[in-house]
């Protein structure tokens, strides 16, 4: 009897735990889909809704890094829609804090370094004259680290290419330089299989758009 109780009890815990997991994955999938559906005209509220949903999931699952990762991504997107620079900075600071928290939960993730670099390059875009040199270097180091951790992660190549588009030719940037890197990123996107349904998979469409923009004759 005692063993039976023990087995049943273990089973009970296992099923409830799986239920928790399934609930987590389902909620994540739903919100990632919502985020992916964001269109230019609805982006404002969609990213805020997704951000809020990820915040709730993160609060209930303090050991998971992915909700924080997506929260950070949404916050960058919200930041980009702000009109005033101090407001943009407020969002980007929050995004940076979130991704740092994700990093402390799960260190050495290529995706986390990509996000860190993404946040940093968006900070540059707020005030390129004053921040370009120092933050540009930091953003580049972070991408290097992301590539080192996972050479097959297409998003690091995409961001590298994107960065080159906005770097003046005098500093080794420009559209010409960006094309091969973005092409490489697209190749990697084609081969890329996220290890689970809730792992990051964004960027391919943006990457294509960036490449088309580069190829457009001036």
Overall residue count recorded for the chain in this entry: 218
Conformational region of residue 100, where left means phi above 0, alpha means psi within -120 to 50, and beta covers everything else: alpha
Which residue number, 75 or 103, has a Cβ lying nearer to another protein?
A: 75
Which residue number, 36 or 152, has a Cβ lying nearer to another protein?
A: 152
Q: How far is the CB of 212 from another protein (least distance, A)?
A: 21
Give the distance from CA 127 to its chain's centroid. 22
Q: How far is the CB of 24 from another protein (least distance, A)?
A: 9
The C-alpha atoms of residue 162 and residue 157 are separated, in whole angstroms, by 8
Compute CA distances 29 → 26, 103, 136, 198, whole Å. 5, 21, 33, 6
Binding footprint of another protein on the chain (CB under 8 A): 5, 8, 12, 15-16, 23, 27, 45, 48-49, 51-53, 55-57, 59-60, 75, 84-86, 89-91, 93-94, 129-130, 133-134, 137-138, 140-141, 143-145, 147-148, 151, 156-157, 160, 168, 170-172, 180-181, 184
Which residue number, 44 or 202, has a Cβ lying nearer to another protein?
A: 44
């Amino acid at each position: 009897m005692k063993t039976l109780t023990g087995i049943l009890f273990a089973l009970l815990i296992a099923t409830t735990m799986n239920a928790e997991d399934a609930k987590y994955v389902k909620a994540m999938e739903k919100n990632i889909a919502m985020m992916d559906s964001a269109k230019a005209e609805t982006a404002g509220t969609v990213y805020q809704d997704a951000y809020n949903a990820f915040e709730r999931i993160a609060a209930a699952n303090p050991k998971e890094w992915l909700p924080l990762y997506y929260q950070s991504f949404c916050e960058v997107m919200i930041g980009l829609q702000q009109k005033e620079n101090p407001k943009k900075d407020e969002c980007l600071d929050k995004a940076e804090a979130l991704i740092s928290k994700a990093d402390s939960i799960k260190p050495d993730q290529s995706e986390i370094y990509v996000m860190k670099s993404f946040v940093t390059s968006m900070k540059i875009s707020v005030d390129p004259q004053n921040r370009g040199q120092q933050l540009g270097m930091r953003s580049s180091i972070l991408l290097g680290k992301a590539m080192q951790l996972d050479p097959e992660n297409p998003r690091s190549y995409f961001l590298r290419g994107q960065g080159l588009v906005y770097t003046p030719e005098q500093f080794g940037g420009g559209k010409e330089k960006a094309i091969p890197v973005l092409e490489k990123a697209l190749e990697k996107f084609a081969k890329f299989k996220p290890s689970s349904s809730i792992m990051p998979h964004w960027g391919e469409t943006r990457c294509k758009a960036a490449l088309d923009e580069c190829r457009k004759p001036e």
